[in-house]
Chains A and B, each alone.
Chain A
Amino acid sequence: MWLKKLFEGYYRGVREIPEPEAIHQREFGFGSFSKKINIRHRAFKSSRELLDYIKEEAPAHINYSTARYEFPAGSMEEKGWLGTDLVFDIDVGDLHLNHKHSEDWLCEICFEELKKETQKLLDFLMNDFGFSRKELLVNFSGSRGYHVRIEDKRVLELDERARREICSYLGAEASIKDMITERDGMIFGPKPSQGGLKGRIARKVIEEIRKSKIEDRERIAMEIEKGNWGAFPRGYGIGRIREVAENTGVRIPVDSKVTTDTTHMIRLPETLHGGSSLLARVVGNLDQFDPMRECFVFDGEETSVRFLREIPNIVAMGEEFGPFTADKTEIPRFLAAYMAAHGWCVVEE
């Protein structure tokens, strides 16, 4: 198979793979082009041993456990759980973007929104949860999002319930009802100087008010700074004010299943994604990062393909391609691999 050969060629040239902390305590799982994980419960003593296996097999998907185990190669009952990294997955599917293109397609705006949400997540993790940027290991998922991993010892022991709490926090599931209350005809609410979601919501509301065209907006913003939320114009009862607070968009749409599952398997950074052919590249500077430029690994040799569906314009490696009709054409190898991995074209060898 054409893609399999490409993957084999790529891994042959790889000299090292960044290893997760305590690699000998991790379970590994590998997948084919038709199934994301079809081999599980594998363990390796070192990244060298793992790389030898990868070079030999060139799997389409390489996943490892966010958990550490005493016996990672044992069955689930035998493994002996030692702890799990704290992991977040931001996937385009959870952003609920109102785009006209099909769900499996990602346009430039999708990629930008993904970055914005990931930036927001990093901001929460640094300012609220106190992690340094260095402790936050960010990588492109290889397909439709970003992964953020924290290997800090203090988070390892957190159970599923604790991780769910973190997701609720990121999802801003604080009860606005308790936050904004009415007493003796006055409406009280959070102040921007407060920590946690309270402060975030207050700051966001003030920012929105200052940007709005509401009459007297500066005075309203200053009153909210003091915790007096009754300063909204007439017509804003407590219900409507709560609605304003609720709709601040403070929340971050992380995939809570990934974070709460303490036995989850996640893509190994710097390996290829069999469903896109892109590299799950480790991200240093997220602002500057462009997956459609930095995650292609194959060269640009012209490759004959036959499209199986219509493909809109696509910008890859800084060049615009398409649109393509369901027809035969020649495109660079990196784009052919991307299209073929998605199942949108077949390569005419």
Chain B
Amino acid sequence: MAYYPFLSNERSRVKALDVDLEELSTNPMYAEIIENAVRDIEGREHKTLDRDLAVMEFVVVRILLGIINDPPIEKAYIKRKSEEYRRSLEREDLSYLIKMAREEFGMDIRTEGGLRIHFTDFLKHKPEFLNLAQMELEGGYVSITKEQLVWILKDAIAKLIESLIPRERRFPSGLVAVARRIRLMKGRERAREAPRVKRLKEEALPPCIRSIIEEVEAGKSSHSANFVLATFLLGLGLKDDDVINIFKRSPKYKEKTTVYQIRFMRERGYTCPGCESIRSYGLCKWECKRKHPVSNYFLNLRSSKNERE
């Protein structure tokens, strides 16, 4: 059986091991754990540690992510780890998965008459490719397969890991230095990779975004439309002020709210939803045959032979 350090009994073992975090961050005996945690956060190959060390490593990873406090780094780590766990969970027995769903995540799962999950748990954790409208829903329960349960668990695990990252507390000084190193490295990496648009070329906008801008200008845009537009513009690499200027076109523009929300989205690292989600929000009625509005913008730029900024 694979090892799942996020399980509550594993986490409570950390307490039983009684390791002082300050000592852990400075004692060379634990250097292997820290090195492994760093490699894990950076997405590099890392060793499979034995159970006691692995549970400690999970603590270190969470503390490091708490110190780094960088949403994109956090998001990338959680995405990668939850996918790793999903692949492991695929190999587990159904009874083990049901136990985990019920006991760790409080999901309401029924097994009589087939595997079923309460629709609220399904909606909270379902992957994008599953839609309630296509599922069999009866008496409040959605019929699912074992594979679908694994996907649902993947989302629950991702949310659990995120909730376990410590926020605003005193961190062991040894780990603060390690975190600084990761942040620096990731920051450089991001600066190399991130798209940079200095000025928006409206002719390259995907039709859904163009339509949302028209709605903004008419003062008729919905919350989800505003969210898509803001994350799209941030995703292009525009500065906050340039994003805010687009929203200023709305007759209902509110300076305080807009500035707060744009900053909040940037700080939290919200990314623009993909085309499938945008369609499900009822904001897309076009057939671009593209997957994401941000890449669509750059492809449009390229195909119209405009110079990429």
Contacts and interface: CB of A to CB of B under 8 A. Distances in A.
A201 B257 CA distance: 44
Interface stretch (A190-198, A208-216, A278-286): A190-198
Contact of B120 (A154, A164, A171, A199): A154
B123 interface: yes
Contacts of B142: 196
A257 B222 contact: yes
Chain A interface size, under 10 / 10 to 19 / 20 to 34 / 35 or more: 35 or more
Contact of A169 (B120, B137, B140): B137
A13 interface: no
B138 A174 contact: no
A107 interface: no
Contacts of B196: none
B199 to A, nearest CB: 30
Nearest to A256: B282
B134 A178 contact: yes
A162 B126 CA distance: 9
Contact of A162 (B118, B123, B136): B123
Contact of A128 (B124, B131, B137): B137
B273 to A, nearest CB: 9
Contacts of A128: 137-140
A233 B119 CA distance: 38
A140 to B, nearest CB: 27
A194 B132 contact: no
Interface in B118-160: 118-120, 123-124, 126, 131-143
Nearest to B118: A154
B137 A174 contact: no
Interface residues of B, number: 28
A76 B124 CA distance: 24
A268 B16 CA distance: 53
A127 B134 contact: no
B280 interface: yes
B12 interface: no
A308 interface: no
Contact of A165 (B133, B136, B224, B260): B133
A264 to B, nearest CB: 10
Interface in A141-179: 154-155, 157-162, 164-166, 168-169, 171-175, 178-179
A162 B128 CA distance: 11
Contacts of A165: 123, 126, 131-133, 280
A131 B137 CA distance: 12
B124 A198 contact: no
Interface string B46-89: 00000000000000000000000000000000000000000000
B192 interface: no
A53 interface: no
Nearest to B113: A195
A116 to B, nearest CB: 22
A2 interface: no
B161 to A, nearest CB: 18
B136 A195 contact: yes
29 contacts: A77-B257, A127-B138, A128-B139, A128-B140, A129-B119, A129-B140, A130-B138, A157-B124, A158-B123, A158-B124, A159-B124, A160-B224, A161-B280, A162-B120, A162-B124, A165-B280, A166-B132, A168-B133, A168-B280, A169-B137, A172-B133, A173-B131, A174-B134, A178-B134, A194-B136, A195-B137, A196-B133, A196-B137, A196-B138
Interface of A: 76-77, 127-131, 154-155, 157-162, 164-166, 168-169, 171-175, 178-179, 194-199, 256-257, 260-261
